[in-house]
Amino acid sequence: MKALAVDVARNLTIPAEEMGLDLRVETRTGDTPPSRRQRQRINPPDILLTTPEQIALFCASPNAKTFFRDLKAIVIDEIHALAPSKRGDLLALGLSAIHRWAPAARRVGLSATVRDPHAYARWLTPQAPDEERMAELVTGDPGRPPEIDVLISENRVPWSGHTGAHAMKEVYQAIKTARTAIVFVNTRAQAELTFHWLWDINEDGLPIALHHGSLDVGQRRKVEAAMAEGRLRAVVATSTLDMGIDWGDVDLVLQMGAPKGSSRLLQRIGRANHRLDDPSRAVLVPYNRFEALECDAAQGAVSEGALDGEVPGRGSLDILAQHVMGRACGEPFEADALYSEITTASPYADLTRERFGEVMEFVATGGYALKTYDRFRRIVKGKDGLWRARNNDIAQRHRMNVGAIVEAAMLNVRLARKGGRAGMKLGEIEEWFIEQLAPGDSFLFSGQVLEFVGLRETDALVVRSKADAPKIPSYMGGKFPLTTYLAERVRGIISNREDWRHLPVQVREWLEIQEKRSLIPEPGQMLVETFPRADKHYLVAYPFDGRLAHQTLGMLLTRRLERLRLRPMGFVANEYALAVWGLRDLSAVDLDALFHPDMLGDDLDAWLQETPLMKRTFRNCAVIAGLIERRFPGQEKTGRQVTFSADLIYDVLRTHQPDHILLQAAYQDAASGLLDIRRLSDALARIRGHIVHQTLEKVSPLAVPVMMEIGRESVFGEANEALLAEVSESLIEDATS
């Protein structure tokens, strides 16, 4: 979004200057210097390109009413990327406040990839009691359909893996044929690795750059400027360049790995030939054989114009608490008036006065279980009946912690100078990754191989290195889930043998061997395979419903198998399948009972009471709601300090106030996000009575990819012996012999 703001500002400023218009266009994001932000408050530009977080900061300022009162229009670009998220909730509440100060300001939402336009038309419009209001829909010419190819490497397509190493030379050749290419990857770790490999084989010295959110803002702006001026041949990027970037020289998009959704793919494809009269051109590069199926499904979905993606839903309670606190930091408010204002925001239109009162009580005292602690008293009601921040210090601290994104604790990556001093900043990296390094270890970052020197407060000091086996930083989050729509299409491709004709030869042969060794499920069926291997017994299921739903299902299945005394040892899951293994034969298990939807009742509740997942989810909600502050004037809490504080509060609330508003918020987050309970519920209902079981003597071809995951993650059951990952070649040999 920061890159989008800069790009839109550039595309507005240039024609305005050419036409001689007296028009001031500026950006305001987290990268904007404080001095410019202060000037913008006093002397606003004519057009301001900004973010939901900056709107929230305006709402938490005493002069917000004056700042917004002459506002004429609000344009929300790429509305699909905001509205269904917590950032969308934050923005919706900010718009409800702006509507009070500037009721005549019109709203416009823009997107090329909206699945349900009516849901967004409602989200965009101020709602009224007992009346659903909708924005007017204006549909433009979609332009020429995109041209999409799937790159099938001449090398062996891996059965598993997420790097694309097998196809890198062909990716490089594709870059050579383009004027300018964007190479999209799905994670920052993949971006670093892909750039590193491309640079190693860049025998022609092509100007290739790297762009992701952890890099220093100065480096990102240099890359964006070079792309806009046509000085780069390619840039390797994550979702930081997904939205709306308009670089006319880009004529090719390479998507490394499956796109995980047709709308996301269309969004990325649209960066190439950003004109209505030219078709966008893209090449999909599957990392493995399952992803080849997914790329084929995405290609078909785009050709049919079929979109997917989330739609706006019910507003988050932790975001609501943050907004209430922010409004108290601005002009004082009367509770009923604020409630009426908030319910004009579509995500909160159904908010009850009772629930709003619970949120108010939480912001004012921390809630029943915490009200004896003075530090949780953040707003007070004056003699005039108005609520306001308890003091200026609390208001300042709130403004420092505004936002809907809770990132892992970050450290600055800086080049070390002589004497151990910190030099040039290269970007930021997650604290937990640096904690795993010892001085002398090397890792990839900012497109360079760096050697870790040591820590100095919040700086990770490094020097450039020529090490040939650097570690790859991984980042919490950033992995896209497979959409329900694409998952359904992948299931359809596998079960329809006519569709196999369009698949790469290696993938088609893989499915044909599967049909001989085991079976291919018919439409509507879910295949479950059981087989022994290396003194253990395995159960592999193929729901094709995404990693989040599969991980939740795996956790619940291991609980049930424990009760059956089958001694499950653990499970692994990928986007397409999950494997459970144990010490006893799993082939005689009643699968209809094992996969019964009632596992989402008591089993789920009992597991949630035990798992650390809820504590992590609660921690994020507590940070967003302002119960725990990450940043203070002149200092910032470490990730460990935040975790320690959150865990203590979580235990207190669980014991003394189990219906606390933040526990409700955490459960809502876990159910809709980390656990994907709604999708799992739909999957269990879909497969009820349609499970087909195959008892095998050896691992099957379809099972090999998920079996290769064993050892990368572990879940401990009754057995406690160490588990070693099976050798991939041995698995493949067993599956094909």
Distance CA 491, CA 486 (A): 9
- Provide the greatest CA pair distance for the chain: 83
The amino acid at 266:
L
Distance CA 496, CA 486 (A): 15
Phi and psi at 112, nearest 5°, equal -105, 0
Distance CA 624, CA 18 (A): 44
Task: Please tell me the predicted confidence (pLDDT) of residue 488.
Answer: 87
Q: Tokens 């050798």 — which residue?
A: 727
Beta bridge partners of 210: 236
Q: Tokens 């990857």 — which residue?
A: 185
- CA 429-433-437 angle, to 5 degrees, is 115
Cβ atoms 481, 546 nearer than 8 A: yes
Distance CA 671, CA 170 (A): 41
Distance CA 108, CA 119 (A): 14
**pTM of the complete model:** 0.81
Distance CA 587, CA 63 (A): 68
CA 206 to chain centre: 31
Task: Please tell me the predicted confidence (pLDDT) of residue 715.
Answer: 33
Domain ranges (residues) in the chain = 51-140+314-400, 147-303, 410-464, 484-596+690-736
Helix (H) or strand (E) holding 536: strand 536-541
Cβ atoms 92, 84 nearer than 8 A: no
Task: Please tell me the predicted confidence (pLDDT) of residue 105.
Answer: 96
DSSP string, 49-66: EE-HHHHHHHHTSTTHHH
What tokens were used for 413?
């990556």
Q: Of 522, 524, 497, 523, give the one whose Cα is nearest residue 511.
A: 497
Which region, left, alpha or beta, applies to residue 443 given φ > 0 means left and ψ of -120 to 50 means alpha? beta
The sign of the torsion formed by the CA atoms of 239, 224, 86, 112 equals: negative
Q: Tokens 């604020």 — which residue?
A: 338
Q: Tokens 């000085």 — which residue?
A: 231
The amino acid at 186:
N
Kindly calculate the radius of gyration of the chain based on its CA atoms and give it in whole angstroms: 27
Task: Please tell me the predicted confidence (pLDDT) of residue 732.
Answer: 76
- Looking at residue 631, the DSSP 8-state letter turns out to be E
Q: Is 697 helix (H, G, I), strand (E, B) or coil?
A: coil
Residue ranges for the chain with pLDDT beneath 70: 1-3, 243-248, 273-276, 408, 432, 474-480, 610-611, 632, 634-644, 673-674, 711-729, 737
Task: Please tell me the predicted confidence (pLDDT) of residue 483.
Answer: 77
Task: Please tell me the predicted confidence (pLDDT) of residue 386.
Answer: 96
The amino acid at 68:
F
Q: Tokens 């144990």 — which residue?
A: 582
* Contact partners, residue 652, CB within 8 Å, separation at least 6: 369, 370
Q: Of 588, 594, 590, 557, give the one whose Cα is nearest residue 572.
A: 557
How many residues are there in the chain?
Answer: 737
Cβ atoms 440, 428 nearer than 8 A: no
Phi and psi at 571, nearest 5°, equal -155, 160
Task: Please tell me the predicted confidence (pLDDT) of residue 168.
Answer: 94
Q: Of 481, 486, 488, give the one whose Cα is nearest residue 686.
A: 488
The amino acid at 578:
L
Task: Please tell me the predicted confidence (pLDDT) of residue 585.
Answer: 93
Which region, left, alpha or beta, applies to residue 85 given φ > 0 means left and ψ of -120 to 50 means alpha? beta
The sign of the torsion formed by the CA atoms of 264, 267, 269, 271 equals: negative
Distance CA 530, CA 518 (A): 10
Cβ atoms 286, 156 nearer than 8 A: no
Instruction: Look up the CATH number of domain 147-303.
Output: 3.40.50.300
β-pairing, 448-456 vs 459-464, is: antiparallel
What tokens were used for 427?
């970007």
Distance CA 82, CA 694 (A): 44
Give the chain's end-to-end CA distance (angstroms, integer).
Answer: 51
Burial 469-491 (b: 16+ CB within 10 A, else e): ebbbbebeebbbbbbbbbbebbb
Cβ atoms 681, 598 nearer than 8 A: no
